[in-house]
Each structure stands twice: as structure tokens, then as C-alpha cells.
Amino acid sequence: MKTYLDCIPCFLDQALRASRLASTDECIQWSTLKLVLQKLATMPLTMTPPEVAQAVYELVYTTTANADPYAELKHYSNRLALALYPSLKETIAASENPLLTACKLAISGNSIDFGPQAQYGDLDTVVASALGSSVAINHFERFRQAMQRATRVLYLGDNAGEILFDRVLIEQLNFHFQADITYVVRDRPIINDATMEDAVFVGLTDIVNVVSNGSGAPGTVLNQCSAQLQQLYKSSDVIIAKGQGNFESLSGESKRIFYFLKAKCSLVSKQLKVKLGDLILLDTVKNH
């Protein structure tokens, strides 16, 4: 997905929020914002939003000399999500279709995103609302069939906190299917995206193979990814891509990808022809 003109003011908003998290000094915040303004004026709109966002956030991190301003928010989200783990498991166990419920929970976890939004509200409410909602684009049955046939699955993670919801889904996938799953995290801190540290914290490394993608983009920018990741991408039968960042960076790829996300920005919801806030489980391959 290309970058739209509407993304530009949004990037400025994001840069301001990140600068304020990274430094309490208003002079530093303004110097940072000025560099971001100049930088944005040089970015081609043919880049995907995660590529532009990466440049913007890296500039903020360098200028404020803070390599991980979202560290505290990430820990907080992980702790909140972990505290929900027993009740999520109970919900799944009590549900008519545990796999579908786990998918909906994994999508609802994508609410935990500090990129396009400043906050995500109360997590209990987010979960309850997702469980009570229908999925606007719902290719669950195709996903289930693809998983049944799959040998290798690549699961592209998105955010801290959300990663616990991914663990819950992966536990279900491991129970229902034979496929070998590899979970992918970002190589280094970018916004509140999950890195290896988060995977360890929520216990994901205990149940699945977790690898870094080798890139610091808030998405999956393939030409930035490690050779290992590119090889895994090519050889996997099913790719699960969580969140807007992965959607924005991979949409248009020929590979079959199942996108699990919540539409949190008007451009993404317009592209997917859904309403803002809708839950999405999208198979990119038609006629399966």
C-alpha cells in the first residue's frame, strides 16, 4: 500500500506523540518535529506507510537520544494482557468454536497499537466488544482449510501486549493442526511493536519457534528482512500477518496471506471497504 497524502499529518501526530514520550523537554520535542517536517518533505509517496513511519520514528529516537520511548507502554501492555490469559483460555474452552474464538481474540489484540492512535482503552472492554462483534471480512473457513493442508506456517507478529493474544491463538493452532509454526518479531524497538523480549515475556518462546525478521520497520518490509526470514516467507504454505503495519507493507504481494487485523485508520478501512474499528480475517487469495 502506498503512502497517501492523508498519512502526512498523521505521521506528524505520531512524531509528536513519540517525541513527548521520548523527552519531556519541549525544545527537544520541537527540534525533533522540525527535522521530521523536513524529512517528510523528501519522502516519496511510493514508499509504504511502514517504511515512512520507520524513517520518522528512527529520526525521533536519534534526535531525542531515546532508542525505545515505548518501552514502558510495551511492558504495561504485556502485563495487562498476561493478566487476562486465564480468562482468555476459559473463554476459548467454553466457546462453541474454540478456534474461531481464538482467531477473534487474536484480532481483538490488535487494538493494542500506539501508532495510529494515542490509546486503546480498557482491555477487558476491547476483548468483550470483539467477542460480541461479527468479523467484517471473515475468511475463517478458508483459513481453517489452509491450516489443515499446511506444513509450514509463518506468523508475523505485530505489537507488544497483542503478542499474548497471538500465543493464545498459536496454542489453538498447535492443538488443531500439524503444521510447523514460526513466529516473527521485529528486530529492534519501533513504536510498540513486539520484539524478542516481548515474546519471551509472554511465554511465546516456550511454545513456538520465534525469530527476528532482521528489520526495524513497523511492518514486514521484505527487502529489509534477513535472508532467513525471506527464505521462511518463500517456503511457508500459510502466512498469518497481524495488524495494519504488516498489511500496509505486504498488501500487493503475490503470496497467499491471511491478514488478521483491526481497521484502525480511515485509509486502511477504505482500502478494505470496511468501517473504522471493524475486525478483519482476510484471505488474499480468491476462490479457495
H-helix or E-strand containing 234? helix 227-235
Nearer to a copy of itself, 42 or 223 (CB): 42
The piece of 6-14, 46-54, 92-100, 148-156 that touches a copy of itself (CB under 8 A) is 6-14
Q: How far is the CB of 69 from a copy of itself (least distance, A)?
A: 16
Helix axis angle, 7-22 to 26-40, nearest 10°:
150
The 44-83 site mask, x for binding a copy of itself (CB under 8 A), equals: -x--------------------------------------
* Closer CB to a copy of itself, 10 or 261, in the complex: 10
Residue 225 Cα distances to 4, 126, 163, angstroms: 24, 32, 20
Of the residues 18, 23, 40, 166, which one makes contact with a copy of itself according to CB under 8 A = 40
Which of 36-44, 48-56, 132-140, 143-151 is the region at the interface with a copy of itself (rule: CB under 8 A)? 36-44
138-197 residues in contact with a copy of itself (CB under 8 A) are: none
Which of residues 1, 18, 29, 187 is near a copy of itself by CB under 8 A? 29
Binding residues with a copy of itself: total (CB under 8 A): 19
6 binds a copy of itself per the rule CB under 8 A: yes
Residue 10 within binding range of a copy of itself, rule CB under 8 A = yes
Q: Output 56-59 pairs: Cβ under 8 A, ≥24 positions apart.
A: 56/11, 56/14, 56/15, 57/14, 57/15, 57/18, 57/190, 57/191, 57/218, 58/190, 58/216, 59/15, 59/32, 59/35
* Residue 130 interacts with a copy of itself (CB under 8 A): yes or no: no
Per CB under 8 A, the list member of 38, 62, 151, 235 interacting with a copy of itself is 38
CA distances from 134 to 109, 138, 164, 246 (A): 15, 8, 22, 22
- CB of 72: closest distance to a copy of itself in angstroms? 21
Binding test (CB under 8 A) with a copy of itself, winner from 2, 12, 80, 211: 12
Q: Taking each helix axis from N to C terminus, what angle separates 49-64 and 26-40, rounded to the nearest 10 degrees?
A: 150
Q: CA of 116: how far to CAs of 11, 13, 165, 203, 262, in Å? A: 8, 9, 20, 27, 12
Between strands 279-283 and 257-262, the pairing is antiparallel
DSSP assignment of 70-91: THHHHHHHHHHHHHHHHHHHHH
Q: Closer to a copy of itself at the Cβ: 9 or 121?
A: 9
Binding site for a copy of itself (CB under 8 A): 5-6, 8-10, 12-13, 16, 26, 29-30, 33-35, 37-38, 40-41, 45
